[in-house]
Structure 1
Amino acid sequence: MSFNNASGSNPNGSFTLMNLCGKVTFDGSNFNEWIRNIRMITRYEDKEYVLDKELKEIDETTATPQEIADFRAHERDATKVACIMMATMTAELQKSYEDFYPYEMHQDLMERYHQRARQERYEIICSMITTMMKDGESVTSHMQKMQRYVDRLLKLNVNFPEDLAIDIILHSLPSCYDQFRMTYHMNKEEVTLSKLQGLLKTAESGLKGKSVAITPTPNSTPVLAIGKSRGRKRKRSSKGTKARTLDGSSSSGTKKGFITPSSDPKEAECFYCHEKAYWKRNCPKYQQDVKDGKVKPNHAGTKKK
C-alpha cells in the first residue's frame, strides 16, 4: 500500500502514515478510537470525504467529462481508504467488509458498534455513580472495581476527567470516612487515582480495631455526648444544702451535722432534739419549749404534709 506525500518535500511522510495506520487495530470494542485514527489519516491525505459521501454509479454514456473525472477520482480515493480501513481490522472483521466501500463500511460500523458503545457507556456510568462501598468491604477491592469502570470508559473513548472519577469515588465511601473526605477537600494538593488508593488504604488501617466510642468522628460526637450524660449525676444545689444545714441548727445557734430527710416518720430524725420516730413539728420537747416561750416557732425547716 502506498500513500502520496501531500507536500512532496518530506520523504518520510509515507513512513509516518504507515505508523499511524498500525497504531490502532479495530477489534469490535474500540470503534471510537479506531475511527478517530482513520479520520486523522484520511484528513491528512485529503480523502476524508469518502467516509461521509456515498460513491454513486454514473452512466458514462450520458455523463459529462467532469462528472466522469470526479467519479473516477472518488473511486480511486475510496479504494485506497477502504484498504487502509481493512488493514487496521482484525482478520474476522476483514472478512465481513472486504467488498465494502468506505461510506457503506462506516455507516454499518456506526450502526453496529457506535450505538452499542453509547449504550455501554450509559450502563457503566450508571453503575459507577450508584456503586457504594459496603461496610466491612476492603477499600482496595472497592477501588479496583471503580478503576475498572474508569478504564472501560477510557477504552470507549469517553473523555472522563480523573478529578470527576475521584469525586465519584469519595461519594461512594461509607460514613466512617467522613473525616477523610473533610481532610481531602481541605487539602489543596493534587491527587491521582493511584495516590488516592494509597491514602485510603492508610485511612482504612487507622480505622481497624477502633470503635466509634473511642475514636468518635465529628458527626458522631453529639450522639456520644448524649450517651455520656446518662451516667452523670446531677449536683445538689448549694441553696438546698444550706437550707437543710440551717434546719439542723440547735436553739443556741450551734450547727448540727447534716441529717438526711426521710418520708417515713418511723425512720425520721427530729431536727430539734435529734430523736427518731417523729419530725420536728411533732417533737414534744419543741412543742413544750414553744409553749413556754423558750423558742420562737420556726416553720422554715418543717416539711409540709
Structure 2
Amino acid sequence: MSTPGDASAPSSSTHHLGFSILSIVSKVTFDGTNYNDWMHNINMALRVEGKEYVLEEKLFEIDEATTTPEKLVSYKEHYDDVVKVACIIVATMSPELKRFYEDYWPYEKKNELVEKYHKRARQVKYEFVKALMDCNMKEGVFVCNHVEKMQRYAECLVSLNVNFDEELAIDMVLNSLPSSYDHFILAYHLKNIDTTLA
C-alpha cells in the first residue's frame, strides 16, 4: 500500500486546504500530554473543510482494472483527502511524534492515538474529578487555602477540556464547607450575592 509520504507535489487546492486548516490548528502542537486540546482543534479544522470523514472511514485499496469509473473517482478523492489530512496532522505534532507517526494513515493514526493518549487522559480526568469531589474543608482550616486547593483541581480539569460553569464551581465550594458555615451559605443564597472564585 502507498503511504502518506508517497504523495506528489501539492496542487493549488491542496495548498488552499493546507493553509486554511493550519491557520486553525497551528496554535496547538501535540506533544503527548495535550491530546484532547489538539484533537479538538484537528476535528474543528477538518469539519470546516468537510474532511472529518477521513478519520472515521478506512481507505481500502481497489483494483483499478476491474472497478467502476464512479468507484475509481471516489477512491481517488478519498486518497487525496487522506494524504492531505495525514500531512496536516503530522505537521502539528512535536518532532519526536512526527518521526513515529509520519507513515500512518489518518484512520489508523487516530485509533492508535485514542488507545494510547485519550484513554490515559480519561483516567487523569477521573482522578482530578474525584479529588475535587472529595474536597471537604475541615474545621480550623483557612478557607482561602481550601478554595485555592479546589481552584487548582478545577484548573487542571479545564486544561483537560472540562468546562466549569461559574455558578457550579461556587456551589461545589459551598457544599465542601463544614457545618459551621451553614449560616454563611444561607445568607449567601438569600442575599443572592454576585461573586466569582477569582
Could you tell me which amino acid in structure 1 is paired with residue 44 of structure 2?
M
Displacement of 1:116: 2.0
Give the aligned CA root-mean-square deviation in angstroms.
Answer: 2.4
* Structure 1 residue runs without a partner (length 5+): 6-10, 195-305
Greater helix share, structure number:
2
Tell me how far apart the structure 2 counterparts of residues 27 and 97 of structure 1 sit (CA, whole Å): 12
Higher RCO structure, 1 or 2 (CA under 8 Å, sep 6+)? 2
2:94 corresponds to 1:90:
yes
Equivalences, count: 188
CA contact (8 A) 1:2 1:14 kept: no
1:261-297, CA deviations, whole angstroms, 9 ceiling, x for partnerless residues?
xxxxxxxxxxxxxxxxxxxxxxxxxxxxxxxxxxxxx
- Does 2:187 match 1:183? yes
- CA-CA distance at 1:187 after TM superposition: 2.2
- Percent sequence identity is 48
SS in 1 for 2:61: coil
CA separation in 1, counterparts of 2:120 and 2:101? 19
CA distance in 2, matches of 1:33, 1:161: 19
Measured after TM superposition, the shift of residue 20 of structure 1 is: 0.9
Matching of residue 131 in structure 1 with residue 129 in structure 2: no
Aligned 8 A contact 1:132 1:174 in 2: yes
The ranges of structure 1 where at least 4 consecutive aligned residues each deviate by more than 6 angstroms after the TM superposition are none
Query: Highest Rg: 1 or 2?
Result: 1
For 2:148, which of 144, 147, 150 is the aligned residue?
144
**Secondary structure of the equivalent of 2:50?**
coil
| Cα distance per residue 1:104-158 (max 9 Å; x no partner) | 1111111222222222222211111111123332323222211111111111112
Distance between the aligned counterparts of 2:25 and 2:82, measured in 1? Answer: 16
TM-score, structure 2 as length reference: 0.84
* Matched position secondary structure for 1:29: coil
Say if 1:4 and 1:43 are closer, same or farther in 2 by CA, change over 3 A.
farther
Task: Note the C-alpha offset of 1:80.
Answer: 0.7
Partner of 1:99: 103
Q: Is the 8 A contact 1:21 1:37 kept in 2?
A: yes
What is the deviation of 1:168? 1.2
TM-score (norm 1): 0.56
CA distance in 1, matches of 2:148, 2:73: 58
Matches within 5 A, 1:4-43: 4=13, 17-43=21-47
Are 2:61 and 1:57 aligned? yes
Taking the aligned partners of 1:120 and 1:89, their CA distance within structure 2 comes to: 21
1:185-243 deviation digits (Å, cap 9, x = unpaired):
1122332111xxxxxxxxxxxxxxxxxxxxxxxxxxxxxxxxxxxxxxxxxxxxxxxxx
